[in-house]
Amino acid sequence: MITTTHQNKTVQIQHLGLVDYQAAWDEQERLFADTVARKIANRTLPPDEQLPTPNYLLFCEHPHVYTLGKSGHESHLLANDDFLKQIGATYHRINRGGDITYHGPGQLVGYPILDLDNFFTDIHRYMRLLEEAIILTLNDFGIQAGRISGLTGVWLGGSGGPSGPERKICAMGVKASRWVTMHGFALNVNTDLSYFSHIVPCGIADKAVTSMQQELGHPVPMAEVTERLQRHLLDLFEMNG
C-alpha cells in the first residue's frame, strides 16, 4: 500500500459532454498515470513532504462505439468492419475488466479516477458503491433496480426490480492499479437500444438491456440524471465535490 499522510476526499468533477471515446480514454490514462506517479514519488519522501493524491470524476457521452474488455471474446461482436461503418460506430479493445459493451449518445458514462487509499482499499466495496449510486439515482426517477448475484452492474426484473425479464440498465467495468481506478459505468438514459443487437452485451446472451426512457415511456433530462448521480456518488464515498 502506498499512502500519503492525509487522505484527500476532494474530487475534481469534469463534465465533458459528447466526446470521442479515444480522447476520453487518453485523458483517463493521463490522469491515472499522474496519480500513480505521485503515489510512487511519495514513497521516497518523509510524511510531511508528501503530496496528497488527486481524485477525479468524469461524466460524458460518446459517439457510437463498442469496447471489448480484457476478458472479452471477439466473437461477441456480431458485426464486421463494413457494417460498423454503415451504422457509424467504432470499435476498441481496452484495458478494463469485463466483456463487450456499447456506448453512444443518450448514455451517461462515468469515469471515476480515484485513489482508493483516500477512501478504502477494497475493490469489491468500490464496485458495490458504484452500483448503489446508480440504484439510488434510478429510484429518484421511480425505477426500482437492483443486483443479480454473480453479475456486475445494475439490473431490472427478476428479484432485482420491477416485474418482467431480467434486463441490464447499467454496465460496469473498471481497472485498478496501486489502488487507483479508471474506466467505470455506463447508464442507459435515452440510449438507442438497437445498437446492442450487434453484440452479446457483456457476454451475456440470455438477458436483455433497457434504458430509463424505455422503462418510463419518455425521454429523461440527462442533466438531471447526472446531477442526481453525482450527488449520490459524493454521499456514498463521503467525497467533497
| Active-site annotation, residues | 202
For the chain, the residue count is 241
Known binding residue 102? Answer is yes
Bridge partners (DSSP) listed for residue 105: none
Annotated ligand binding at 185? The verdict is yes
Is 164 annotated as contributing to ligand binding? no
Q: Is 97 annotated among the ligand-binding residues? A: yes
CB 103 within 8 A of CB 186: yes
171 in a known ligand binding site: yes
> Binding site annotation covers 96?
yes
Per the listing, cell 514519488 goes with 41
Q: Is 172 annotated as a binding residue?
A: yes
- Non-local (6+) Cβ contacts of 53 within 8 A are 4, 8, 35, 38, 39, 42, 115, 117, 118, 180
Residue 87 assigned to a binding site: no
Q: Is residue 101 part of an annotated ligand binding site?
A: yes
Count of CA atoms in the C-beta half-sphere (13 A) of 9: 10
How far apart, in Å, are the Cα atoms of 209 and each of 28, 167, 168, 216, 218?
27, 5, 5, 14, 17
**Binding-site residues for substrate, please?**
96-103, 171-173, 184-186
Q: What residues are designated binding site?
A: 96-103, 171-173, 184-186
